[in-house]
Amino acid sequence: MDSGAEPQPSPPDEKAWASLGAALFIDTSLSADGKVACATCHPPDAAFTDGKPVSRGVFDRTGTRNVPSLWGLASAREFFWDGRRASLETLMFDPLTTAEEHGMEGEEAVISSVQARYSAEFERLFPGRGATRETVSRVLAAYVRQQVPPPSPFEQFLSGDAQALRPEQRRGFALFTGRAGCARCHPPEGGAFTDGSYHAGEISAALIAKQAGAARELALLDPGARRAAVSARAEVAALGRYVVTLRASDLGRFRTPSLRNVAVTAPYMRDGSVPTLIQAVERELYYRLPEGLQVGDMTPSERSDIVAFLHSLTSPAASTGIGR
């Protein structure tokens, strides 16, 4: 096992790490049934998401959350819908050892599987260390960090090409940043359209009934058991940020998702409960309009302008491949 005090490799070679990470990313042998790779849920040719409401892992087990795209995470500071991890490196063994994802029996099992297939590659990149929790995490994180979405029409527009957006998309952008108030939580600055912060939303009535019990029970578990409960139990997943902080004010709060490529990453919301982009925008208008405004204050054509604008956030390479 890693002591955590090993010397840093020198010189760090992110590019070589990322290409080894790419091999691990598509390798189904790192799973309990030999059928699931990172790319099963995060297919690179479909904006790194799977088009399902919630994830499907080994033995067809379902998770509790909608699979986020992995594009543009180099600048993210917290990860997962509840922000329960603070770096790409620390989260990598979560999918590998989660029963509903790769389902490997613990970290040692992952490391020996990696050793069995990639010991030469790891030895070359990390002489004297080989595959460890730390080096496996590093190569996967390097791969993810490299995934930058190709420029969208909106980015071309920002860099001076006025024709890159159709008139309705420009009107939609004005509403998005103006009267509809979307940019309060989905700011365009930085390109990801997320404030990286946590906000309360809608919870289904069926889950509300189970929440209080789940919240009490959760407070007694250690952090590892709490994380495992998120992907196993919908009523725990619905507690949101509370699972991380155990503060009542964080009950049902979720991290604002990026809207880059949102037009090709249906279905929507942390639980995949909203099938189409139009419905997602309607729901956001209903729950999150600035104070004093009601959803009826936006005309149907204004709503469709907002949807048209969101389509301008799609990278050219991402517009195909969905619906698999």
**Would you count residue 270 as binding ligand HEC (CB under 6 A)?**
yes
Measured between alpha carbons, how far is 315 from 321 in angstroms, rounded to an integer?
A: 12
Q: Which ranges of the chain does DSSP label H, i.e. alpha helix?
A: 14-25, 38-41, 88-91, 93-97, 107-125, 133-145, 153-158, 167-177, 205-218, 223-232, 234-237, 242-245, 277-288, 300-311
Q: Where does residue 101 rank: exposed (0-12), middle (13-18), buried (19+ CB within 10 A)?
A: buried
Q: Can you say how many angstroms the Cα of residue 78 is from the centroid of all Cα atoms in its chain?
A: 10
Determine whether the annotation assigns residue 182 to a binding site: yes
**Would you count residue 80 as binding ligand HEC (CB under 6 A)?**
yes
Phi, psi of 238 (to 5 degrees): -70, -15
Pick the stretch among 129-137, 161-169, 277-285, 312-320 that binds ligand HEC (CB under 6 A): 277-285
**Would you count residue 265 as binding ligand HEC (CB under 6 A)?**
yes
Measured between alpha carbons, how far is 122 from 129 in angstroms, rounded to an integer?
A: 8
Pick the stretch among 94-102, 111-119, 120-128, 217-225 that binds ligand HEC (CB under 6 A): 94-102
Measured between alpha carbons, how far is 236 from 219 in angstroms, rounded to an integer?
A: 11
Site track 3-32 with ligand HEC (rule: CB under 6 A), x = hit: ------------------------------
Select the residue interacting with ligand HEC from 236, 280, 313, 322 (CB under 6 A).
280
Window 177 to 216, contacts with ligand HEC (CB under 6 A): 180-182, 184-186, 199, 201
Pick the stretch among 130-138, 162-170, 206-214, 284-292 that binds ligand HEC (CB under 6 A): 284-292
Measured between alpha carbons, how far is 260 from 48 in angstroms, rounded to an integer?
A: 12
Beta bridge pairs of residue 200: 253
Determine whether the annotation assigns residue 311 to a binding site: no
By CB under 6 A, name the binding residues for ligand HEC: 36, 38, 40-42, 55-57, 63, 65, 67-68, 70, 73, 79-81, 88, 91-92, 95-96, 101-102, 140, 144, 180-182, 184-186, 199, 201, 230, 254, 256-257, 259, 262, 265, 268-270, 280-281, 284-285, 288, 306
